[in-house]
Structure 1
Amino acid sequence: MSRPESSPPSSDLDNGSISSLIPAVAKAHRKLASALLADLGLAAGQQFVLMLLWKESPRSQTDITQQLMIEAPTAAKMLSRLEANGFITRERSTSDRRVVLVSPTESGRALEGPVTAVWERLEARTTVALSPAEQDQLRSLLERVAHSLTD
């Protein structure tokens, strides 16, 4: 028996609870993001670093870690890969040698248009089955859930 197209993928762990659906949706979203970003030489998650840097740079490595709500070793590994691929540079601050400042390179800045286009495709694919009103409602609900989990 096949499941209807509108049904989410299920597993033996899926009991229909919101807490089981959130990681399933997140995993599927990240997998699609990874596939879309791979052609740009980026892994899923790395686009967030670049998005922060396009808004303001340089930024401290600590600020990036805090803004993305990730652990310092995760940020360091991500930044090392972005640097190795030529998308960012890292330099010690001249005013405080403990601070590492991160800036996009020309190659990193050149990714702004392509990453934005990928992000728009990802958004469209993610919300294809939702009306504009449902998209607004989902956005509002997810913001509330995120707020309740981070307080």
Structure 2
Amino acid sequence: MSRATHRDSQNQPLEAAPPTSTVTVPASAQAGPVSHAIFRVARLHRMIAGQLLRRVGLHLGQELVMMHLWELGPQRQTDLVRLLDSDAATMTRSIKRLENAGFVRRRPCPDDKRAVIIEPTTASQALRREVERIWAELEDATTGDLAPDQQAEALNILRRVEDSLARTAANTPPADAPA
């Protein structure tokens, strides 16, 4: 069974995961303890986020699509792909699910007949409040045991880690590029 158990009802709290300080890093990962910790943290974070989002009928990542639409207004689907560093197929599936749920609508782009504009619906405004509440709950689950100065330090370190990884990614040729 996973560290956190799926909730049957919106009112039940997530079960607390046992402390992970006893996690043993496999010998083959000893050269990368920070990378191993990031992997474990990211996996748990995604799992909890998925549990929380399921309560409002969303899949992971769909809340980010909606956040951008609420913040920026209607967007071309290709712009959403770029904003979220996604791929076209994944974005198409996400938009289709959101459209079927009544949270977005698609319309042709008036300037480019090949492009599609995605816009949030009026019905999505209630979802916005739920997503904001879920995001706050996820933040509390993530940082609840940290003092404000520790939260700021963690955020600073994560930004530096992200910058380092982004620089590495920018200098790494795609896997399908000729050698």
TM superposition score normalised by structure 1: 0.89
SS in 2 for 1:91: strand
- The equivalent of 1:47 in structure 2 is 63
CA contact (8 A) 1:87 1:105 kept: yes
Counterpart of 1:76 in structure 2 is 92
Residue 22 of structure 1 pairs with residue 38 of structure 2:
yes
Give the aligned CA root-mean-square deviation in angstroms.
1.8
Question: Is the CA contact (8 Å cut-off) linking 1:14 and 1:21 kept in structure 2?
Answer: no
Are the counterparts in 2 of residues 53 and 103 from structure 1 also a CA contact under 8 Å? yes
Structure 1 residue ranges (4+ consecutive) displaced by more than 6 angstroms after TM superposition: none
- In structure 2, the partner of 1:117 is 133
Query: Structure 1: where are the runs of 5+ without partners?
Result: none
How many residues are paired up? 148
- Give the distance between the partners of 1:104 and 1:8, measured in 2 at CA: 45
Residues 1:131 and 1:150: Cα distance change in structure 2 (over 3 Å): same
After TM superposition, the structure 1 stretch with the greater mean CA deviation from structure 2, 115-124 or 19-28, is 19-28
TM-score after normalising by structure 2 = 0.76
Name the SS of the counterpart of 1:90 in structure 2. Answer: strand
Structure number with greater Rg is 2
Do the aligned partners of residues 14 and 102 (structure 1) sit closer, same or farther apart at CA in structure 2, a change above 3 Å counting? Answer: same
Deviates more, 1:86-95 or 1:47-56: 86-95
Q: Give the drift of 1:119.
A: 0.3
Shift of residue 14 of structure 1? 5.4
Aligned-partner residue type, residue 127 of structure 2? L
Shift of 1:11: 6.3
The higher relative CO (CA closer than 8 Å, separation ≥ 6) is in 1
Shift of 1:138: 0.7
Could you tell me how far 1:6 is from its partner in structure 2? Answer: 5.5
CA distance in 1, matches of 2:81, 2:143: 28
- Give the C-alpha shift of residue 5 in structure 1: 2.6
The letter for the 1-side match of 2:85 is M
**Structure 2: gaps of 5 or more residues:** 1-17, 168-179
Which residue, out of 91, 99, 107, partners 2:123? 107
Tell me how far 1:89 sits from its aligned partner. Answer: 0.8
Q: Match for 1:7 among 21, 44, 47? A: 21
- Provide the rounded CA distance (Å) in 2 between the counterparts of 1:22 and 1:71: 23
1:95 to 111, 115, 137: 111
1:35 and 1:72 mapped to 2: Cα distance?
Answer: 25
Structure ranking higher in helix proportion: 1
